[in-house]
Structure 1
Amino acid sequence: MGRKRRRFRPLLTAAAGLLAAAPVAAQLDGNFDEAKVPAYTLPDPLTATDGTRITSARQWWKQRRPELVRLFETNIYGIAPPPPRHMRFVVTDLDRAALGGLAVRKQVSIYLDSAAGPRMAVLLYLPARANKPVPVFVGPNFHGNQAVHPDPAIAITPSWVVPAEGVVKGRATERSRGIDAAQWPIEEIVKAGYGVATYFTGDLYPDGDGKFAESIQPYYRTTASTPDRWGAIATWAWGLSRVYDYLATDHDVDAGCVIVFGHSRYGKAALWAGARDTRFAAVISNDSGEGGAALYRRRFGETIRVMNDYWFAPTYKTYADREAGLPVDAHELIALVAPRPVYVASASLDLWSDPRGEFLAAKAAEPVYRLLGAEGLATDAMPPPDQPVLSRIAYHLRAGPHDITRWDWANYIRFADRYLPAKRR
């Protein structure tokens, strides 16, 4: 244990400047000392709540997996409604020579019910010279579709947007175009033979306190005080599945090779989407932390007590300061992706997201992968910064702060090249 603490001390020092920018309450709550991590015992992903030992793939699929999904729904994320029965997909923009001829650009409206009901706007870029359906990365964005690239043809979101450059009183303006482009290297992804699809989470649940009434939840007759009502993360994850519903109808997309990804809070949503919806071929979680890939029981960095209430089901907050009472932990969330490829990524200065807890969760998901005949995480020791482990359960610790960078993306593409059937062909 002493050796591990010494390894993390330089990271703690380097992170001090980042923590200074965090809210005061969050700083007071966060633990950044490995010596203060409490002793804990992780629940066994292969032991059912009635004590039955899960020893076969059939038991996993028929008994344990559905049980774990219910436990995550009722205790953490909330119960989302089934897919809408009357969805419509309308392509509002099609340019087969976008980005200087490099890409096909499509903008699609997903009507979740009637024309007067909720609507999602999806932005999709595909390689222009593809001669067959292509694999696609799909993930949510923070500030509207127009923020992921300066392409002037991208429609500016009319939904409420959190404060950012080019956002005035909650509304995106022309100046918001491309403000998040550094996190979305679309040209590089397209050149590698992949498509990229994204939607703005504000279309479904604006990412701010007191936005329940502006979300789609009242439309689905959700009551805010219901203990297991779906929170914002479950709503965003549900939206990712709705994007998949569209992609499955697009003949330019290989519906068997759609990779769901997300950064930060949207990394939590991506993991939950991939856990619930087995149509996603692979899952990538970037710096997702508590409520995502990091172990709850470690109580390192962010904790349940300081997390946004609206992200989760109301029941979730009852576990603040008693994380050991949770019937599940993050390793079982990752295990719900099995045997599909999953990539958990951390950043060395992002101690708020608990990089070690993310690595340990990825490793602890391994027994389920092995039960299903798949490779686990090909290392027993947490790798040093910038040395990715690209096994079926993949992990890397990027040097630097909480972010998603071109270096991260280069490794996600390598990972997809290795494990997606379409790319192997």
Structure 2
Amino acid sequence: MRSYRLRRHGPGLPTATALAAAAALTGATLQQAHPADTVAAAAQAAPGVEDDGLDCPVPGSGSTPSRSLLPDPFTKLDGTRVTTVSDWRCRRAEIRELAEQSLYGQKPTKPAAVTGSVSSNGITVNVTHQGRSASFSASVSLPGGSGPFPAVIVYGGLGADVNTIKASGVAVINFDPYTVGKENTARNNKQGAFYSIYGSSSSTGLLMAWSWGVSRIIDVIEQSDGSVLKAGATGVTGCSRFGKGAFVAGAFDQRIALTMPIESGTAGLPAYRAIPGESGSQPLSSGYSEQPWLGDAFGTYTGNPNALPVDTHEIVGMVAPRGLFVMENPHINWLAARSGSVAALGGAEVYKALGAGSNITYWSDVADGTHCAVRPEWKAPLQQNISKFLLDSGSGSGAFRIASGKAGNLAQWRDWQTPHLGSTTSGAGGGTSSGTGSGTTTGGTMSAARAAPAPPSTGRPAQGRATTRAR
């Protein structure tokens, strides 16, 4: 008999009935509405909901057959396929469970008590759960003008250009992830606020612990009086190891309106199945052992990624239909940008199926090879994404600009078709994809990639603004 899991709600989370009501935005209403807007809107979480699939019963997956191609994000664990937008909510919950089990470790639901404060220069977070307590803080830097302001949470002070963010009228929250999950610790002795609550021997890796910290910051923003920062208008960004963290945070909290990972490398965006075949990329065993970024369970997959029940294109799909702006560096082989393009192209199929093809941007076509540099090529799309997803004052279409020397070909990595969800046939990526497209275009309303000069083979990253290698 197939077993089912139902994740229990933490205090303050909506009931299954409320979540089902939010999902009911699909159906007859969709059939009469504009596809590019309504289909995508129907797939959004209800306002203030960290995870809208907590009430979904997820069947036990059992053993997963080894598979060299990317898993089909549209096939449910019971073998049936997603056919409507409303189906995606519980399919996303299945992907979440599989990703927690095999990649990151579990992200607990909201703790029993989260309190704190928001001021013009900082945020404090206090957490209490089952007799254990922990606290951490983050600094705030406001733009000019009067608030309340949208905000971007920047991991470790290293992410998308903060000058452009603030010049756009958006606040910057500087989050030190090490206060929540420290590096350079043994897997059985993890440290930081997350592990003070859930135990130093928790099998959850640092990336998910950092994601939990971001969610608790958002909790405090939501509980504040709204005079400084706006609830419901939060982005997250980070570069290198912090890019890995930003990617996971955006995937696992649906309150994040805009996710912006930069040069995330192995354990970030790049597809695990593709990394071993990409010359010079950081091996999976290295990504697992360098720091306890990934969950403990991933250790069994480092030599056999084909056995993974999920891959990172499905983590991209977890972000859909919310804003996603991926920035990659094709000049440093260690960062596995070709495998990153494979994951982004695969995940973009979920965006297109949800009628949100214009909400994802991928950009590796850059001239400067310095790790975590501020790049002029990214300024305009950064402004566009901030305007569209945080300021609600723009409607630009996403673009894929893939460097020719690091262009993956999605057709070589899948044998599944992208379904058409809903009853509409036009709009932002709303059509059915044939599965034969190359890795240099995306279809829908997203522009074709511009070929860049083939990048030099530079091996491991040079020293830039970040620390060494893919961090």
Question: What TM-score, normalized to structure 2?
Answer: 0.62
Select the structure that is richer in helix. Answer: 1
* Secondary structure at 1:127 match in 2: coil
Q: Corresponding residue for 2:359?
A: 392
Shift of 1:58: 1.2
CA contact (8 A) 1:135 1:422 kept: no
* Secondary structure at 1:316 match in 2: helix
**Alignment equivalent of 1:194, drawn from 154, 167, 170:** 170
Q: Corresponding residue for 2:9?
A: none
Residue 322 of structure 2 aligns with an amino acid whose one-letter code is R
**Alignment equivalent of 2:370, drawn from 360, 381, 401:** 401
Q: Corresponding residue for 1:312?
A: 294
Residue 212 of structure 2 corresponds to residue 245 of structure 1: no
Shift of 1:184: 6.9
In 1: Cα distance, 2:218 partner to 2:356 partner? 25
CA contact (8 A) 2:233 2:389 kept: no
**Alignment equivalent of 2:381, drawn from 411, 415, 418:** 411
Q: Corresponding residue for 2:134?
A: 118
Residue 365 of structure 2 corresponds to residue 365 of structure 1: no
| Cα distance change, pair 192–67 in 1 and its aligned pair in 2 (3 A) | same
* Secondary structure at 1:214 match in 2: coil
Shift of 1:189: 2.5
1:23-422 aligned within 5 A: 40-62=68-90, 64-90=91-117, 105-113=120-128, 117-130=133-146, 132-141=147-156, 148=157, 185-210=161-186, 212-222=189-199, 224=201, 229-248=203-222, 249=224, 250-298=226-274, 299=276, 300=278, 301-309=281-289, 310-375=292-357, 391-397=358-364, 398-399=366-367, 400-405=369-374, 407=376, 408=378, 411-420=381-390, 422=392
Write the deviation string for residues 91-149 of structure 1: whole angstroms up to 9, x where unpaired.
5xx5xxxxxxxxxx41222122399932111111122313x5322111220xxxxxx4x
| Cα distance change, pair 54–258 in 1 and its aligned pair in 2 (3 A) | same
In 2: Cα distance, 1:193 partner to 1:421 partner? 8
Shift of 1:359: 1.4
Structure 2 residues without counterparts, runs of 5 or longer: 1-66, 396-471
Residue 152 of structure 2 aligns with an amino acid whose one-letter code is F
In 1: Cα distance, 2:343 partner to 2:161 partner? 28
Shift of 1:66: 0.4
Residue 387 of structure 2 aligns with an amino acid whose one-letter code is D
CA contact (8 A) 1:345 1:396 kept: yes
Q: What is the RMSD of the two structures over their aligned residues, measured on CA atoms? A: 2.5
CA contact (8 A) 2:260 2:325 kept: yes
CA contact (8 A) 2:301 2:307 kept: yes
Number of equivalences: 316
CA contact (8 A) 2:288 2:299 kept: no
| Cα distance change, pair 308–366 in 1 and its aligned pair in 2 (3 A) | closer
Give the share of equivalent positions with the same residue, in percent.
28
In 1: Cα distance, 2:353 partner to 2:161 partner? 37
* Secondary structure at 2:321 match in 1: coil
Q: Corresponding residue for 1:387?
A: none
CA contact (8 A) 2:155 2:174 kept: yes
Residue 424 of structure 1 aligns with an amino acid whose one-letter code is G
In 1: Cα distance, 2:297 partner to 2:84 partner? 32
Residue 324 of structure 2 aligns with an amino acid whose one-letter code is V
Shift of 1:419: 4.1
Residue 297 of structure 1 aligns with an amino acid whose one-letter code is R
* Secondary structure at 1:113 match in 2: strand
Residue 344 of structure 2 aligns with an amino acid whose one-letter code is A
CA contact (8 A) 1:40 1:324 kept: yes
In 1: Cα distance, 2:127 partner to 2:380 partner? 34
| Cα distance change, pair 213–109 in 1 and its aligned pair in 2 (3 A) | same
Residue 124 of structure 1 aligns with an amino acid whose one-letter code is V
In 1: Cα distance, 2:173 partner to 2:380 partner? 17
* Secondary structure at 2:261 match in 1: strand
Residue 47 of structure 1 aligns with an amino acid whose one-letter code is T
Structure 1 residues without counterparts, runs of 5 or longer: 1-38, 95-104, 142-147, 149-179, 376-390
Question: What TM-score, normalized to structure 1?
Answer: 0.69
In 2: Cα distance, 1:261 partner to 1:67 partner? 25
* Secondary structure at 2:299 match in 1: helix
Range with greater deviation from structure 2 (246-255 or 107-116)? 107-116
Residue 214 of structure 2 aligns with an amino acid whose one-letter code is L
| Cα distance change, pair 246–306 in 1 and its aligned pair in 2 (3 A) | same
Shift of 1:65: 0.6
CA contact (8 A) 1:348 1:401 kept: no
CA contact (8 A) 1:140 1:240 kept: no
Shift of 1:252: 2.4
Write the deviation string for residues 278-298 of structure 1: whole angstroms up to 9, x where unpaired.
111111111112222101111
* Secondary structure at 1:416 match in 2: helix
* Secondary structure at 1:412 match in 2: helix
